């Protein structure tokens, strides 16, 4: 099951590392990463596959949100289906 | 693979333009609960509702969490009680309303609709009991909604019921002003409407279905900001594309909710449903289109265009479309409408004209407490006539506020918002309303 992770916040060293380490720990496969930095603000979007994750969606969302708080960025995870349904026929 | 810009567009709609799914409404048939003993009937309907809908709120909350889009309300609609309870040996149906309220609260939904009667060609004894019970039923419950269908294009308008509904609305307001916010009078009521106060589960429906009402006036307004000054072709194309995207989210939520609850998917209601929040308003769309305020000349044309293009865009986005489908114009629930009514730009007469081309009708309009029952019936008759002749659903949800007059405000709270008391035409219609009988079905040819 594919999900979209969005990371928003002031850019600093180690954000991608922190998120990727967490995802690796939870056995989540990263399919794609893109990031843009506008005026010091990072906007990172990851497409991930959580089908082999050691945590269910809700637990993973909480782990990511908690990790985000520790480095002062906002991390959200959503099912890919909402983007697919809106932009693909 | 989904692109970054598409992800950002969707999330911007949710975070900056109030994109939400207004409601997941579970329709539940109560026909198999019939019993001559009112206590047994109440027990059966309580058990059926709390069994069928036990996971509705949890599934709604899970979907909201996983998709990241707010699902504002979870609701239930039931078989019109005047039909389901027709076999009960009892004089009034207030205890049924209390049972519905208790069941709805037990499963945690926001509203339950279906304390209803379909009386477009006359009343059965059960319809009479239900209509007479409305004022107390709405005063003694918190989240039960009531509706009465007084006319159809096929059958005409039952003016005896129209007269009674004027009196019932007055009586309801005297027991509880909030009661009137939960009571709607229809012409051409639909059987699969997920929106309140008029939701009920029609007798042609399955035992249990999931209907979803989408929303998103703010998303349309934001999209129109990008085409400021463009011609009507561009305007309409923008509305269609936006409505398509909004509706696709509704379709996804409906299909997922249906799968997780193991209940068949009924319909998507393609609606633009405003809330009192700034940036979630139909009136603000009119302003973006170029009208100074809602109610200015051009408003009916703007609404007609908006409504039509929401449907055109939405229809392809969903496998089954139904309900009321269109733009709602509830005065108290729309920040821009409230403001337009307050400054006199929007009058009851202009709203009536707008209802010829919008989704429903005269909705959530506060009027002076000294408005007579006959005048309210006259307004209902006018609105029902628009629906009957034009083969569309129309409705009246008027709130006569005791001891308040033009210039005062009334507060309902939450999604129901607040409203200025609007002036009502002071000339009388009593002799017209007192005639009694039915207005016959209209001719379906010579459409001029």
Give residue-wise pLDDT tens across range B291-347: 999 999 999 999 999 999 999 999 999 999 999 998 899 999 999 999 999 999 999
Test B10 with A87 for CB contact under 8 angstroms: yes
Task: Out of B10, B65, B256, name the one closest to residue A83 (CB).
Answer: B10
- HEC profile of B231-261: CHHHHHHHHHHHHHHHHHHHHHHHHHHHHHH
Test B2 with A83 for CB contact under 8 angstroms: yes
Q: What pLDDT, on a 0 to 100 scale, did the predictor assign at position A24?
A: 96
Q: Which chain A residue lies closest to B251 (C-alpha atoms)?
A: A85
Task: Out of A6, A34, A81, name the one closest to residue B11 (CB).
Answer: A6
pLDDT tens digits along B334-346? 999 999 999 999 9
Test A85 with B251 for CB contact under 8 angstroms: yes
What one-character-per-residue DSSP string does A50-74 give?
Answer: -TT-SS-HHHHHHHHHHHHHHTTEE
Band (pLDDT 50/70/90 cuts) for residue B446 is: confident
Q: For residue B51, give the DSSP letter.
A: H
Q: What pLDDT, on a 0 to 100 scale, did the predictor assign at position B48?
A: 98
Report, as ranges of residue numbers, the positions in chain A whose pLDDT lies below 70. Answer: none
Task: Out of A36, A47, A86, name the one closest to residue B245 (CB).
Answer: A86
Name the minimum distance, in Å, from the CA of B255 to any CA of chain A.
11
End-to-end CA distance of chain A: 19
Instruction: Specify the residue for token string 């509203």.
Output: B111
Q: Which chain B residue lies closest to A79 (C-alpha atoms)?
A: B67
Looking at chain B, the whole-number percentage of residues with pLDDT higher than 70 is 100
Residue B122 lies in a domain: no
Q: Considering chain B, what is the average pLDDT of its residues?
A: 95
Residue B391 lies in a domain: yes
CA-CA distance, B448 to B441, in Å (whole number)?
Answer: 17
Tell me which chain A residues have a C-beta less than 8 angstroms from the C-beta of B256: 81
Test B66 with A57 for CB contact under 8 angstroms: yes
State the residue range of the domain holding B353.
212-439
Q: What pLDDT, on a 0 to 100 scale, did the predictor assign at position B271?
A: 87
Regarding an ipTM greater than 0.85, the answer is yes
Tell me which chain B residues have a C-beta less than 8 angstroms from the C-beta of A58: 62, 65
Name the minimum distance, in Å, from the CA of B10 to any CA of chain A.
7
Query: Hey, which residues 43-72 in chain A have their CB within 8 Å of chain B?
Result: 43, 45, 47, 57-58, 61
Residue B159 lies in a domain: no
Q: Is the pLDDT of residue B18 over 90?
A: no
Q: What pLDDT, on a 0 to 100 scale, did the predictor assign at position B278?
A: 84
Residue B150 lies in a domain: no
Q: Helix (H, G, I), strand (E, B), or coil: what is residue A45?
A: strand
Q: What pLDDT, on a 0 to 100 scale, did the predictor assign at position B312?
A: 95
Q: Which residues are within 8 A (CB) of B101 and not within 5 positions of it... i.e. 6 or more apart?
A: B112, B140, B141, B142, B143, B144
Band (pLDDT 50/70/90 cuts) for residue B447 is: confident
Residue B310 lies in a domain: yes
Instruction: Specify the residue for token string 């081309």.
Output: B357
Dihedrals φ, ψ of B48, to 5°? -65, -45
Test B8 with A43 for CB contact under 8 angstroms: yes
Residue B142 lies in a domain: no
Task: Out of A32, A47, A85, name the one closest to residue B252 (CB).
Answer: A85
Task: Report the pLDDT averaged over residues B148-177.
Answer: 97
Tell me which chain B residues have a C-beta less than 8 angstroms from the C-beta of A6: 7, 11
Q: What pLDDT, on a 0 to 100 scale, did the predictor assign at position B1?
A: 79
Can you give the CATH number for the domain in which B280 is found?
A: 3.20.70.20
pLDDT tens digits along B367-381? 999 999 999 999 999
Name the minimum distance, in Å, from the CA of B356 to any CA of chain A.
31
Domains and CATH numbers, chain A: 2-87 (3.30.70.260)
Q: What pLDDT, on a 0 to 100 scale, did the predictor assign at position B121?
A: 96
Q: Is the pLDDT of residue B2 over 90?
A: no
Q: Is the pLDDT of residue B216 over 90?
A: no
Test A43 with B2 for CB contact under 8 angstroms: no
Residue B154 lies in a domain: no
Instruction: Report the number of distinct structural domains present in chain B.
Output: 1
pLDDT tens digits along B258-283? 999 999 999 999 989 898 888 889 99
> Which residues make beta-bridge pairs with B438?
B158
Test B67 with A47 for CB contact under 8 angstroms: no
Q: What pLDDT, on a 0 to 100 scale, did the predictor assign at position B110?
A: 97
Residue B118 lies in a domain: no
Looking at chain B, the whole-number percentage of residues with pLDDT higher than 90 is 91
Residue B413, Cβ density class (10 Å: 0-12 exposed, 13-18 middle, ≥19 buried) = exposed
Q: Is the pLDDT of residue B360 over 90?
A: no
> Which residues make beta-bridge pairs with B260?
none
């Amino acid at each position: 099951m594919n999900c979209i992770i969005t990371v928003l916040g002031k850019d600093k060293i180690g954000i991608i590392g922190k998120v990727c380490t967490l995802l690796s720990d939870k056995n989540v496969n990263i399919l794609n990463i893109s990031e843009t930095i506008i005026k010091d603000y990072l906007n990172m979007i990851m497409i991930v596959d959580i089908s082999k994750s050691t945590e269910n969606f809700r637990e993973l969302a909480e782990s990511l949100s908690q990790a985000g708080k520790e480095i002062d960025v906002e991390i959200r995870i959503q099912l890919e289906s909402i983007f697919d349904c809106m932009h693909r026929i | 693979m989904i692109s970054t810009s598409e992800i950002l567009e969707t999330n911007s709609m949710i975070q900056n333009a109030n994109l939400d799914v207004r409601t997941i409404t579970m329709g539940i048939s109560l026909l198999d609960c019939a019993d001559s003993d009112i206590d047994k009937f109440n027990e059966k309907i309580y058990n059926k509702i709390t069994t069928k809908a036990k996971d509705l709120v949890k599934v709604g909350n899970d979907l909201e969490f996983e998709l990241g889009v707010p699902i504002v309300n979870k609701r239930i609609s039931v078989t019109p009680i005047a039909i389901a309870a027709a076999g009960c040996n009892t004089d009034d149906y207030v205890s049924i309303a209390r049972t519905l309220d208790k069941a709805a609260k037990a499963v945690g939904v926001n509203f339950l609709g279906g304390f209803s009667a379909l009386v477009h060609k006359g009343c059965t004894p059960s319809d009479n009991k239900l209509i007479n019970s409305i004022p107390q039923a709405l005063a003694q419950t918190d989240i039960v909604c009531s509706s009465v269908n007084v006319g159809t294009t096929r059958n005409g308008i039952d003016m005896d019921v129209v007269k009674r509904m004027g009196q019932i609305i007055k009586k309801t307001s005297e027991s509880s002003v909030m009661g009137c916010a939960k009571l709607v009078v229809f012409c051409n009521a639909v059987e699969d409407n997920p929106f309140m106060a008029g939701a009920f589960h029609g007798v042609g429906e399955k035992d249990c279905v999931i209907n979803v009402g989408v929303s998103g006036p703010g998303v349309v307004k934001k999209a129109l900001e990008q085409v400021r000054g463009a011609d009507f072709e561009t305007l309409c194309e923008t509305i269609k594309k936006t409505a398509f995207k909004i509706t696709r989210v509704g379709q996804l939520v409906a299909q997922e909710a249906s799968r997780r609850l193991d209940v068949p998917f009924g319909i998507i209601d393609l609606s633009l449903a405003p809330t009192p929040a700034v940036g979630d308003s139909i009136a603000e769309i009119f302003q973006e289109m170029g009208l100074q305020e809602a109610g200015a000349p051009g408003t009916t044309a703007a609404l007609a265009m908006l409504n039509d293009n929401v449907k055109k865009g939405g229809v392809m986005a969903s496998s089954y479309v139904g309900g009321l489908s269109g733009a709602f114009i509830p005065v108290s629930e729309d920040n821009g409408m409230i403001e337009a009514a307050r400054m006199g730009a929007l009058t009851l007469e202009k709203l009536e004209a707008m209802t010829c081309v919008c989704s429903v009708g005269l909705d959530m309009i506060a009027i002076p407490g000294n408005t007579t029952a006959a005048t309210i019936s006259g307004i209902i008759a006018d609105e029902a006539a628009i629906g009957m002749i034009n083969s569309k659903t129309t409705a009246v949800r008027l709130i006569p506020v005791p001891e308040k007059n033009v210039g005062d405000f009334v507060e309902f709270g939450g999604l129901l918002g607040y409203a200025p008391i609007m002036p009502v035409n002071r000339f009388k219609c009593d002799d017209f309303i007192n005639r009694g009988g039915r207005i016959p079905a209209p001719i379906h040819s010579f459409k001029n």
